[in-house]
Amino acid sequence: MRNKTTYACQSCGHQTARWMGRCPGCGEWNSLVEETTVVQQKPARGIAGGGPVPVTEITTAEEERYSTGLAELNRVLGGGLVSGSLVLVGGDPGIGKSTLLLQAASAMAGSAGKVLYVSGEESVRQIKMRAERTGALHPELLLMAETDMAVVEKVIKETAPLAVILDSIQTVYHPDVASAPGSVSQVRECTGLLMRLAKGKGIPVFVVGHVTKEGTLAGPRVLEHMVDTVLYFEGDRHQTYRILRTVKNRFGSTNELGIFEMRGAGLAEVTNPSELFLNQREQPVAGSTVVPSLEGTRPLLVEIQALVCPSGFGAPRRMTSGVDYNRVALIMAVLERRVGLRLSAHEAYVSAVGGVKLDEPAADLAIALAVASSFKETPVQDRLVLAGEVGLTGEIRTVAGMDKRLQEAAKLGFKRCIGPPVDKQAAALGIIEYIGVQSLQEAVEAAIGR
């Protein structure tokens, strides 16, 4: 056994023998921190033994999934919790990560069996207070306050729980690594230990991770590579709703969303999120449009708002919230060049209402019409939704899942939809008037007028 001093990057985990001002791995400045590691001469531990096997001789079976007791969490996980999976949950402080996992732990304990909840940030009495407030009380839910991973490993092997929840990975340490909790070495070793336990014993493990001020998970990027699923819990702390988004998922889609509402008794699932994002929309207003977005298998109606006003300075200001800034700049350039709207001397502010983030191309047409409506100071037609991708030549391109989008729009009382010119799914439905347009110019004339 000997001590080894290295310098590890807190952003990417790159290690060097000497300190450098700039990390050679990721290019970050002043991110190398000195760490002392105890190196033990012992063989590396693997997940499972055995040599190579021909792929044709491997028997496969459909993976077993456990219900977490929360339909929205099951949706984001791809249909449930896979045996032996390692799930990382990140989010801003106070957003509700611990509340979400405690409610899921109680539901799993009541339906499937023993669940171990390990906290390195709170005492068991503090966790019990939250459990009483949220109604997460069950005798099969085991609480433990511990930061030593060796003790946690021993307890997991002795109790053999159905699932394990660790809150959080930045607060625990491994006694074999002589560095502070939360360092690159500790995070890597503790996550590796949990991965071996999950894969070796078939126990699904939830791990809570802290996020930086930029909104990314704290610690080395290797943390996200090691786990099977990465979930982000997002939302405005001043609002009551929360969005659970998948960033990585080896067992399902990464486009699913889970939506919750924070109440006094904990998190409540939102079964109809479209009503949530449109609940304050009454009469048509200039600069307001609705897009039937498709997040995974879930259609979601979101309001897009735009404000265009003359600029009092040389360079007009452009700001976005919930939509991509570069995409909005591209759409405004198409509006100016192909439709003839003189936007170069105007400031523009575009926002997706409700804090939801839209990154699919189907929102292009709604963004373009919201900007055009605000510029012309004329609202779009009442009970109208817009879906379509805008090309650089001004053409409206086809988007996927139009039938699901229109069914959701019809459910909430919308009567018309403007979209790509040819869509057999939309024409076959007949539940809503569908107006196909070839270009952005036609879309502006159909929704607003000349």
The tens digit of pLDDT for each residue in 172-217 reads 999 988 778 887 888 888 999 999 999 999 999 999 998 876 666 7
DSSP string, 405-424: HHHHHHHTT--EEEE-S--H
52-106 confidence digits (pLDDT tens) = 889 888 777 667 788 999 999 999 998 899 999 999 999 888 889 999 999 999 9
Band of the pLDDT at 32, cuts 50, 70, 90? confident
Band of the pLDDT at 283, cuts 50, 70, 90? confident
Q: Residue 394, SS3?
A: coil
pLDDT, residue 50, reads: 60
With a pLDDT cut of 70, the percent of the chain lying above it is 90
Q: Which helix (H) or strand (E) holds 332?
A: helix 325-334
pLDDT at position 24 over 80: yes
The answer to whether 94 is annotated as binding is: yes
The answer to whether 304 is annotated as binding is: no
Using CB atoms within 10 A of its CB, is residue 52 exposed (0-12), middle (13-18) or buried (19+)?
A: exposed
pLDDT, residue 58, reads: 79
The answer to whether 97 is annotated as binding is: yes
The answer to whether 243 is annotated as binding is: no
Q: What is the mean pLDDT of residues 107-134?
A: 93
Mean pLDDT, the chain, integer: 87
Omega of the bond prior to 83 within 30 degrees of 0, cis?
A: no
Long-range contacts of 122-126 (CB under 8 A, 24+ apart): 122/98, 122/167
CB 171 within 8 A of CB 181: yes
pLDDT at position 18 over 70: yes
Residues 28, 10: Cα–Cα separation, whole Å: 9
Residue whose pair of structure tokens reads 């002043």 in the numeric block: 30
More confident residue, 320 or 1: 320
Say what the pTM is.
0.78
pLDDT at position 253 over 90: no
With a pLDDT cut of 90, the percent of the chain lying above it is 53
Band of the pLDDT at 43, cuts 50, 70, 90? very low
pLDDT, residue 215, reads: 63
pLDDT at position 428 over 70: no
The answer to whether 83 is annotated as binding is: no
* Strand ranges (E), 132-202: 141-145, 163-167
pLDDT at position 47 over 80: no
The answer to whether 96 is annotated as binding is: yes
More confident residue, 62 or 417: 417
The answer to whether 46 is annotated as binding is: no
CB 433 within 8 A of CB 416: yes
CB 394 within 8 A of CB 440: yes
Distance between first and last Cα of the chain = 80
Look up residue 337 and give its DSSP letter: I
Q: Which CATH architecture has domain 64-271?
A: 3-Layer(aba) Sandwich (3.40)
pLDDT, residue 49, reads: 52
Q: So where are the chain's domains?
A: 2-39, 64-271, 276-447
- What CATH number does the domain located at 276-447 have? 3.30.230.10
3-state secondary structure 115-142: EEEEECCCCHHHHHHHHHHHCCCCCCEE
The answer to whether 357 is annotated as binding is: no
Q: Residue 368, SS3?
A: helix
284-307 confidence digits (pLDDT tens) = 899 999 999 988 778 889 999 999
Band of the pLDDT at 219, cuts 50, 70, 90? low
